[in-house]
Chains A and B, each alone.
Chain A
Amino acid sequence: MAKLYVFGIGGTGSRVIRSLTMLLASGIDTGFDIVPILIDPDGAGGDLNRTTKLLREYQDLYTAGAGHKPNKYFKNKITTLGDIITEKGGGAKVFDGFRFELDGVQNDKFKDFIDFNSLDRNNKNLAKLLFSEKNLDADLDVGFKGNPNIGSVVLNQFTKSEVFQSFADTFEANDRIFIISSIFGGTGAAGFPLLVKNLRKANIEGKHYEYLKNSKIGAITVQPYFKVKQNDNSEIDSHGFITKTKAALHYYSKNISGNNSVNHLYYIGDAADNTYENNEGGKNQQNDAHFIELSSALAIIDFAHTDDTYLQTTNGKAIKPKFKEFGINGDNNLSFGNLYGASQNLLKQNLIEYFYFNLFTNNYLKDWLKAPFAKEYEPVIDQNFLYQGFYKTLTAFNSSFRVWIAELSRNSIAFSPFSVNPVVNQENKITDFSLGSNNIFTLVRDTPEKKNLNPFASNNDELFVSFLNKAAKATGNAPDAPKRFLEIFSQATTAVVNKKLI
């Protein structure tokens, strides 16, 4: 299958890929194998690590479910550059996971990175002209702290790296590229134009890559959608976000959109009124999921679903570039009803189904292990199954999904399609959600439950079990328990959601 390389640059890149992973888990299919490549110097970044953990869990769940009868969840393959090279018989050990590790940024100041002290006087003066004292003394291991001038120097390393060359080597005619970056920070704002320029140049270490030069490139540039608290000790100041955005847009108008470098360029942003803690980087930089990130993930799906005819490129130039924005019907506390047609169609059914899959496994499964769906077919789903690797991974992934849903609903603007209440720890981090109603089919806002006039009919988890029993009967036995589990749950959730809600 053709591949879609998704470059997630900086913290925003990681957060958008987090949302994309949730969408793919819920059953949305891009028609491509997704290859996420996270570019972030801040290796300890909370958002980055949360996303890489999620991607690894997704991969395990994809592998567990693949290869038998089709099931809905985790069906879109997510792979790594390392895996692709191994599949193609390549021996070179490229990076193992999803994150490209920049050399020379660990425990280094920017002036060490550019070898400032060994420059001659003239070059030192030139460097001082381009970079402030603060810039030169900046620690690189927590990122570029909103300084794209630093980022553009450091990130040049990526396009000269073995990883970039391996990526170019594996890139094939039908593959596509999508780049996620924010425009108001440091890493994304610097990395995006740099990456596009090198992709279109397609000349790495003297080797020319024609497929890469004429590749179909989509990108989303995320404009300010949050602020950070004012902190005199932090280099990040959200008062500069708009100015930086304007400056970057001006640059893009000549070097990205103005020269037809990108086939589809998506713009998104929001009049930010939510304020995050001011963390320059590290594990504390872990922002709540935001609707903007979810919408940005939809841009990737939109790009993947776009027909080749609209993405033609000649001589490294998009023939008919398109520029897209995203609109909603509402201004806060959004639910599915506030989305327009295509987005609503894509999100509503899939997220609702995954929500109920998640809800049942988390709240009810252990009480129904003696029902036919669990014990009458082989392999059985019993107490032992709940302690095995697959189910543990699923539980971890589902826990992240619940946190993600709750974070989306707590943020501003809020996307809260489900009546759930965030559960927080002492640090005010969301750890789970609680239900807003005992009747599980009243939990989808704007979507009333379809009532059954029969007073003796089963409802709630019992109705779910009834559909699981039917699905198990239709599926029969399976080669292993995870495959059977995913198959019957994917069938049953579709049926139960169609019966009670949609």
Chain B
Amino acid sequence: MNLNDFFAVIYELLGYAGTFSDDIYQEELYTSVGLINIFVGLFLTIVFYFFNRPKFSKLKYWLFMLLISFIINFVVGILVTQNTLTALGLEYKFIDYALFGLKNAVICIIVFVIWSYAFKWWNSDTKGIPKIFFGKF
């Protein structure tokens, strides 16, 4: 399975949009948007876990970083697909791009949580942020 197939499975789990999804797959946009999503999440978690200090080691600041990631990925999801497909002369409604941006943003939440769990053990100041499973893990 190549990267495009891998990301396509994930994105289309959240909804298949017919020809719009096919065109994104065809242009291998799943790969570029997915990789941007992963690296944005990685960058922001590194900032949170490695450049943090006790005052900002709180859940509300972690949620703030997640919000930034959400917004970036939402905008990236719209711009990358719209620019590419429009350049190819393919016309879709803005709502199609917006829904894809939203899918990308939702996936970024999962990516951000995964990165967080990979890094939260490293910094003693941020240990315990976030905690899921009823605050146990």
- A interface vs B, CB < 8 Å? 368, 370-373, 375-376, 456-458, 462, 465-466, 469-470, 472-473
Contact = CB atoms under 8 A, between A and B. Distances in A.
Contacts, number: 38
A99 to B, nearest CB: 45
For the residues of B in contact with A, the DSSP-based class is loop
B120 to A, nearest CB: 10
Given A466-B125, A470-B124, A472-B124, A372 B57 contact: yes
Contacts of A373: 124
B37 interface: no
A376 B53 CA distance: 16
A458 B127 CA distance: 17
13 contacts: A368-B54, A371-B54, A372-B124, A376-B128, A457-B53, A458-B53, A462-B53, A462-B54, A465-B54, A466-B54, A469-B127, A470-B124, A473-B124
Contacts of B58: 370
A376 B127 contact: yes
B55 interface: yes
Contacts of B124: 372-373, 466, 469-470, 472-473
Contacts of A470: 124
A375 B57 CA distance: 13
B126 interface: yes
Contact of B126 (A368, A372, A375, A472): A372
Interface string B43-65: 00000000101110110000000
B52 to A, nearest CB: 9
* Residue of B51, B54, B58, B127 contacting most chain A CB atoms (<10 Å): B54
A371 B53 CA distance: 11
A295 to B, nearest CB: 39
A377 B54 CA distance: 16
A466 B53 contact: yes
A30 to B, nearest CB: 34
Contacts of A465: 54, 125
Contact of A473 (B51, B53, B54, B127): B127
* Residue of B51, B58, B124, B127 contacting most chain A CB atoms (<10 Å): B124
* Residue of A456, A462, A472 contacting most chain B CB atoms (<10 Å): A462
A373 B126 CA distance: 10
Nearest to A368: B54
Nearest to A461: B54
A373 B127 CA distance: 9
A458 B58 CA distance: 15
A373 B125 CA distance: 8
B131 to A, nearest CB: 9
Contacts of A457: 53
Nearest to B54: A465
A370 B58 CA distance: 9
B98 to A, nearest CB: 36
B55 A458 contact: yes
A325 to B, nearest CB: 48
A469 B54 contact: yes
A371 B126 CA distance: 8
B128 A458 contact: no
Interface string B62-87: 00000000000000000000000000
B128 A372 contact: yes
B53 A372 contact: no
B127 A462 contact: no
Nearest to B59: A370
A74 B43 CA distance: 45
Given A370-B58, A466-B125, 5 more contacts: A375-B128, A465-B54, A469-B125, A469-B127, A473-B127
A247 to B, nearest CB: 62
A456 B53 CA distance: 9
A368 B53 CA distance: 13
Nearest to A472: B124
Contacts of B127: 372, 376, 469, 473
